[in-house]
Structure 1
Amino acid sequence: MNKIIGNAIKLIFFFGLGIFLVWLITHHLTPDQWQRIKQVFRTANYWILLPVFLVGTFSHILRAMRWRMLIEPMGYHPRLFATFSAVMIGYIANLALPRMGEITRCGVLSRHENIPIQKVIGTMIVERGLDLLCLASVIVVSVLIQIEVVGGFFYHTVISKMMSLFSSGSWLRYVIFLIIIAAIITGMIFFLKLFRHTRWYRKLVLLFRGIKEGMLTIGKMKNKGLFFLYTVAIWLCYFLMVYIGFFCLKPTSGLGINAGLSVLGFGSIGMILTQGGIGAYQLIVEKTLELYGILEAYGFAFGWLSWITQTLLTLVLGSGCMIILPFTKSRKKIIVAEKTI
């Protein structure tokens, strides 16, 4: 019951934050701006969304193929459709409950392909860490190649705020925070030592050993070059989804590669901040496009169109996988069938 209440509170908080950001974007729009937005959507070339859907689908397939490469060094060989389904069902879980996607996809793949979940979690941690590194790289490259346009925006919105945290004596709060964290870690170590001979402690050790084994698979892969190629291809697909999407709306059709990199980098941060990215993604995309001379109303329209496209793709593919996957044989059933032959 407590877990259900906790999940409900998280859902309400993140969804509420998203709704607040939507209000923050829309409450000051004038009737003239609303008319511009409606006109943009009426004149949009929605056929452009077809290649966006195809590229997005291909990126998810590549992600499933890359995830399999992390799992295979442990001696498990999950099928591509099961891995792809786990990825897509995880994305749907992220739309339904905050931060539940990663655990959900690990659970789906573990149950269907008969792989210990702790090992799957280890590979997922590696994959998410790699994605964060890629996102940081996209942002850094975007800032460096267009320092005049994006550099000032990045400095005033991120760097200056970080610097202000350590001014006016506010650093003392962070010292206290670090002391509290250190005390919690020390208490946990003492607690674990005190109960190290119990059964649940041994289960906890096995869990972390499995996670560690999953995290170390990246060093055991035979074809690291292919893994790197998959990673580059995934992020290239993400970029193409943004860049091709520009041509859907007339005001953004003249934007180039630099604008695409900026929207990809900063927009991805928005997808992390709130439930399904709602509100935060649109706001960040709108402000980013303003740097390239796109009027606020048009940036608002593109942010919503891009978000709806990504969310719709997730819902269609994820729902399809949820329907089809139960009708495919799980790895456990295949093993049982082989033993009876």
Structure 2
Amino acid sequence: MPKLLKTILQFTGFLGIGILLIWLVTKDITPSQAEQIKDAFRRANYWILLPAAVLGFLSHWVRAMRWRLLFFPLGYQPRKLNTFFAVMVGYLVNLAVPRLGEVTRCGILARYEKIPVDKLVGTMIAERAFDLICLIVLITVTILVQADVVAGFVATYLTDPLHNMYANASASRLLIVLAVIVAVILIFFWLLRRFARTKAAIALRAFLRGVMEGIFSVFKMKQKGWFMFYTVAMWLLYFSQVYIAFSCLPETMGLGVKAGLSILAFGSIGMIATQGGIGAYQLIVQKTLALYHIPEVIGFAFSWIIWVAQTLLVIVLGLLSILGFPVYNKHYHPTPPPPKTK
């Protein structure tokens, strides 16, 4: 399949899912509820979103600084602003095509800092894997500290659908899928050995070695304490954005830490599920707020307010980063790392 066609299909697929979810949320809204939603938008205190935007900027900066730590064991020290620019361009691209932004940020940083792309891809995989672990921990803590509130929500929207999915799949189907996966892996390694001397195989092995080196950089770095500090700081900044945003509407102003944890934990799933979180994020936030007795119309308004604020911040910072890259690096020539001693 041509790369352009694959990108177009991926874009339209995720966008279509987002639009479908928006339709599911809005299709049963009555004229009275629509008026209440408009009233909520009119009453919202949008000034409170300014400090939330500052916290959002800091969270993106901290993420960039944490990613930068993974380059040190590989012998590279990219400039801080270049790393930040790359992260923001990646976020911007993700709004258009999910997951393409991860590749884009590696490619653009490789261009300006002369770091091999394979090593950058490896560090990105390591970073994302660590984020997934953090999200699982966050969801677990959220459930444990308020099981009476969120247990039903988790069962309805997470565990039950997964259980039904696998319950409807016969054992033979699961075995066939597993066999196909194993066969594909074995064929891949057989082809790699069969054509080991070809340029393509040599290049692929070199790329895979670079990726693995990038992945294991998290275990080799000396600044593990800073890595953990940046990780905790990043998630605290994410939480602070949600907690401050509660003050933009009178109905959500009284919500506390537990509600903020729930919005952060479950809303993060929505941001991953669709293109920029569109549709999925709003639906999950609305349903989550209902657990705390927030009317659906208010939950609808609140979810759109914070989603639009977060998305606008990414768009502005992403576009500024695209413009900033050539200006900031006009006279910059990165120094190659010293050769490794055997």
Q: TM-score, normalised by structure 1?
A: 0.95
Quick one: structure 1 residues 186 and 286, their matched pair in 2 at CA, closer, same or farther if it must change by over 3 Å? same
Match of 1:222 in 2: 222
Alignment-derived partner of residue 14 in structure 1: 14
Q: Quick one: distance in 2 between partners of 1:310 and 1:171?
A: 43
| Match of residue 328 from structure 2 | 328
Worse-matched range after superposition: 113-122 or 156-165: 156-165
Structure 1, residues 165-199: CA drift from partner, whole Å, max 9, x if none? 44366333222211111121122122222111111
Matched, 1:147 2:147: yes
- Corresponding residue of 1:233: 233
Deviations 1:58-90 (A, max 9, x none): 001111111111111111110000000000000
Give yes or no for contact 2:242–2:264 (8 Å, CA) kept in 1.
Answer: yes
2:47 maps to 47
- 1:31–1:207: structure 2 CA closer, same or farther, 3 Å change rule? same
Residue 137 (structure 2) aligns with: 137
Residue 268 (structure 2) pairs with residue 268 (structure 1): yes
Go from structure 1 to structure 2 and tell me whether the alpha carbon gap of 1:106 and 1:286 turns closer, same or farther (over 3 Å shift): same
Which runs of no fewer than 5 residues in structure 2 stay unpaired? 337-342
Give SS of 1:254's match.
Answer: coil
Q: Secondary structure at the match of 2:251?
A: helix
User: After the TM superposition, which residues 184-263 of structure 1 pair with which residues of structure 2 at under 5 Å, given as runs?
Assistant: 184-263=184-263
Q: Distance in 2 between matches of 1:172 and 1:246?
A: 49
Q: Using a 3 Å threshold, how does the CA distance of structure 1 residues 208 and 334 change in structure 2: closer, same or farther?
A: closer
**Native 8 Å contact 2:114 2:334 kept in 1:** no
Q: What is the rounded CA distance, in whole Å, between the counterparts of 2:327 and 2:90 in structure 1?
A: 19
| Structure 2 Cα separation of the partners of residues 262 and 273 of structure 1 | 17
Give identity over the alignment, percent.
49
Q: Distance in 2 between matches of 1:166 and 1:325?
A: 47
Distance change (3 Å), C-alpha of 1:171 and 1:246? farther
The alpha-carbon distance between structure 1 residues 168 and 327, as it changes in their structure 2 partners (threshold 3 A), is closer
Q: Indicate how the Cα distance of structure 1 residues 257 and 331 shifts in structure 2: closer, same or farther if over 3 A, else same.
A: farther
Map Cα deviations across residues 146-174 of structure 1 (whole Å, 9 max, x no partner).
00000121123222233334436633322
User: Is the partner of 1:250 in helix, strand or coil?
Assistant: coil
User: Paired residues, what number?
Assistant: 336
In structure 2, the partner of 1:125 is 125
Going from structure 1 to structure 2, the CA distance change for 1:125 and 1:334 (only over 3 Å counts) comes to: closer
Specify the alignment match of 2:74 in structure 1.
Answer: 74
Deviations 1:282-316 (A, max 9, x none): 00110111111011111111111111011000011
Asked whether the 8 Å contact 1:112–1:331 carries over to 2, the reply is no
Q: Is the 8 A contact 1:114 1:331 kept in 2?
A: no
Give the Cα separation in 1 of the matches to 2:200 and 2:105: 25
1:165–1:16 distance in 2 versus 1, CA, 3 Å: closer
* TM-score where L is the length of structure 2: 0.95
**Structure 1 residues 296 and 85: CA distance shift in structure 2, 3 A:** same
Deviation (angstroms), 1:233? 0.3
Q: Distance between the aligned counterparts of 2:332 and 2:201, measured in 1?
A: 28
Q: In angstroms, what is the RMSD of aligned CA positions?
A: 1.6
* Gap runs ≥5 in structure 1: 337-341
Separation of aligned partners in 2, 1:168 and 1:335: 57
1:36, 1:297 within 8 Å by CA — same for their partners in 2? yes
Matched, 1:317 2:317: yes
8 Å CA contact retained: 2:113, 2:334: no
The residue matched to 1:76 in structure 2 has which SS?
A: coil
Amino acid at match of 1:43: R
SS at 2:271's partner residue? helix
Conservation of the 8 A alpha-carbon contact between 1:40 and 1:250 = no
Q: Give the match for residue 340 of structure 2.
A: none
